C-alpha cells in the first residue's frame, strides 16, 4: 500500500515508522521547505517503546503522484486541515483519506474540500512527542480506531487491509461502525484535560491533585457529554467523569499538546475542542459556562505569545 502522510509532526512521524515497519511504502508530505530538506537528508529518529531506529522515507513538498497513492493520512493540526485538504484536491487526489486528528470537524472539512475523497475518520490514543524536528518519541501505547464517514466508501476489503497493515506494524488498530461517537468521545476527554493543563502549566496528573481543577474538569466533561447526548452520539464509557480521571492517571506524566503549544507560543486547537462544544451548545440552546470560560482564557493566553 502506498501511503502519503501529510504533516510530519509527532503523530505523523510515529505512524510513518510503524507503517514502514509493516511493509507499506510511506511518503511524508510537508509544506515547510527547510524541514522537508532535513527529513529527506537525514531521515528521522524513531524512538519507540520496543525499538530505537533511524527511519528514512521519501519526503515531498506537496502531494506528488496522486494516481499512485492508495491512502492519504492527514496528521496536521486541526487549524491546518482546510489548507491541507485544499492542497490534496489541487494535486488531483480523490481516493481514501484518513484523519486521526484531534478535535471536531476535520472529516467534514476534508469532505468539503475534496468532494471525491472517501473519508475515513477516527481517533488514536497513541502518545508521541517531538524531541526535535526529526526525532519522535513514542510516549505511550494506545488504541487506533476508525471507520468510513460514508458507509461503503471505501469498501470493507480496503479497510480490512488497512487494519491488518497497521497491526502488522505494531499499531493496535480496529474498525468502528460509529466514528463520530469515537471523535466526540475523545473531544470530551481532551476538553476536560488539555485546556486546564495549558492554563495551569502542569502535567496531566496534577489535575487530580488540585481540588478546584479536578471539579472544574468534571464540569467541562459533563457539558461536553450533554452535547454528545443531544446530538445522538454515544460516549464510549458509562461514567465519563471517571473515565477522564482514569485517563489523567494513565497519562499522569504527559504534557498535553495544548500545554506544549502554549509553552512554545504556538496556536492551539482550542476552537476544535472546547470551542467546538461551545458552538454546539449555542446551536442546541443549552448553557455551557465552563467550556466557554476556558476557551476564552486560552485565547487570552495565546494573545500573549510565548512566555519569557
- In sequence order, which residues have a C-beta less than 8 Å from that of residue 286 and are 6 or more positions away? 226, 227, 230
Distance in angstroms (rounded) separating the CA atoms of residues 192 and 181: 17
Inter-helix orientation angle 274-284/289-304, to 10°? 140
Residue 238: CB atoms within 10 Å: 7
Three-state secondary structure call for residue 200: helix
DSSP secondary structure letter of residue 137: E
Are residues 134 and 105 in contact, defined by beta-carbon separation less than 8 angstroms?
no
Q: Would you call 77 a catalytic residue per the annotation?
A: no
Cis status, amide bond into 30, omega within 30 of 0? no
Question: Which of the residues 68, 77, 186, 231 is marked catalytic?
Answer: 186
Dihedrals φ, ψ of 147, to 5°? -160, 170
Distance in angstroms (rounded) separating the CA atoms of residues 279 and 117: 27
Distance in angstroms (rounded) separating the CA atoms of residues 153 and 145: 16
The residue count of the chain comes to 308
Nearest Cα neighbor of 142 from 11, 273, 287, 270 is 11
Alpha helices for the chain (secondary structure H): 10-21, 33-42, 81-90, 106-113, 156-169, 179-200, 211-230, 240-250, 257-263, 274-284, 289-304
Distance in angstroms (rounded) separating the CA atoms of residues 268 and 262: 7
Q: Which residues are catalytic?
A: 186
Amino acid at each position: 500500500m502506498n501511503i502519503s502522510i501529510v504533516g510530519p509532526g509527532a503523530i505523523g512521524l510515529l505512524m510513518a515508522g510503524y507503517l514502514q515497519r509493516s511493509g507499506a511504502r510511506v511518503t511524508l508530505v510537508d509544506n515547510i521547505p527547510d524541514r522537508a530538506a532535513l527529513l529527506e537528508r537525514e531521515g528521522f529518529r524513531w524512538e519507540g517503546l520496543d525499538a530505537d531506529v533511524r527511519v528514512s522515507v521519501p519526503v515531498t513538498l506537496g502531494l506528488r503522484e496522486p494516481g499512485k497513492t492508495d491512502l492519504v493520512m492527514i496528521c496536521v493540526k486541526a487549524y491546518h486541515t482546510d489548507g491541507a485538504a485544499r492542497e490534496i484536491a489541487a494535486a488531483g487526489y480523490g481516493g481514501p483519506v484518513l484523519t486521526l486528528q484531534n478535535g471536531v470537524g476535520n472529516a467534514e472539512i476534508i469532505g468539503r474540500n475534496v468532494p471525491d475523497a472517501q473519508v475515513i475518520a477516527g481517533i488514536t490514543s497513541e502518545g508521541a512527542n517531538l524531541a526535535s524536528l526529526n526525532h519522535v518519541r513514542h510516549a505511550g501505547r494506545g488504541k487506533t480506531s476508525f471507520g468510513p464517514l460514508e458507509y461503503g466508501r471505501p469498501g470493507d476489503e480496503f479497510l480490512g487491509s488497512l487494519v491488518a497493515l497497521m497491526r502488522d506494524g505494531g499499531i493496535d488498530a480496529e474498525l468502528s461502525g460509529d466514528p463520530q461517537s469515537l471523535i466526540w468521545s475523545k473531544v470530551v476527554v481532551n476538553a476536560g484535560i488539555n485546556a486546564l493543563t495549558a492554563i495551569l502549566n502542569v502535567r496531566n496528573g496534577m489535575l487530580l491533585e488540585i481540588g478546584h481543577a479536578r471539579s472544574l474538569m468534571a464540569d467541562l466533561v459533563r457539558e461536553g457529554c450533554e452535547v454528545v447526548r443531544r446530538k445522538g452520539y454515544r460516549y464510549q464509557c458509562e461514567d465519563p467523569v471517571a473515565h477522564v480521571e482514569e485517563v489523567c492517571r494513565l497519562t499522569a506524566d504527559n504534557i498535553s499538546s495544548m500545554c506544549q503549544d502554549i509553552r512554545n507560543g504556538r496556536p492551539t486547537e482550542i476552537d476544535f475542542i472546547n470551542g467546538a462544544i461551545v458552538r454546539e451548545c449555542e446551536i442546541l440552546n443549552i448553557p455551557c459556562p465552563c467550556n466557554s470560560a476556558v476557551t476564552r482564557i486560552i485565547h487570552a493566553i495565546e494573545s500573549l505569545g510565548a512566555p519569557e
